[in-house]
Structure 1
Amino acid sequence: MQAERKSMSGSRIIPGMRYRDPQKMIDWLGEAFGFNLHASYDGPDGAPVHVQMTLGDGMIMFGPALDDDYGQLVKPAVLGQPVNQSAYVVVEDIDAHYAKAKEGGAEILRELADTEYGSREYLARDPEGHLWSFGTFDPWVPQEQ
């Protein structure tokens, strides 16, 4: 059963995460995964405290691991536990994206492959331990039955 896409004016889901070195990740996420810098807001020391990056019409936001209201959002390695979340990103040219990610140094955890549900996708880990799934499956596009 295909869900009907309903519009809720102004509603969006934008993943947020923390990185130990946000400046490094701005460069790395651009180089390896093709994200573009949308905005970066620096703190008094000149280091990024809030970063917005886009890929297509999607966006992620991140900042440094701090002892603040979002202090529970720390990079996976700090937790000493397995990662308990990941982002799934729909990309059109998955083969080119995969090649770029490998060239950019992404740790590939699941190689690029076709799935039984009609997607072509792979799973990668960034330098600070976050998991990223990239694939062609788009749940907003009606699927053939």
Structure 2
Amino acid sequence: MSRPSIYPIVPYRDLRGALTFLCDAFGFTSHAQIEDSAGVIQHAELALDGGIIMPTSAVDPAAMWLCVRVDDLEAHYDRAVEAGARIVEELHDTPYGSRDYSALDPAGHRWTFTTYDPYAQAAGS
């Protein structure tokens, strides 16, 4: 069975409160949580029945976007640029060990493409 490669990123104004609510009300479990030295959550993952969502406070709480894991990020980026995708976040390394870039589709939806694999991270822990 292959692992999912698409992870919804869901923004919240109160991320800690949302994590508690989603676990208590909908049965999610914490898959990963990374905090900075000030105790601010920088990255969170919740799991449910083999799927993972990534709640965040890093963006406009009215917008949701998708994170998609790809095998060859640089080739994927080059393809997107050549096809005219509007790049809104250039290729970069993240504090949690992946490499990402973000682009908008014609409707203005944000897509983040990444090398990050939450299932591999858990297996390596």
Query: With structure 2 as the length reference, what TM-score do the two structures score?
Result: 0.49
Greater fraction strand: 2
Structure showing greater radius of gyration is 1
Greater fraction helix: 2
Query: With structure 1 as the length reference, what TM-score do the two structures score?
Result: 0.43
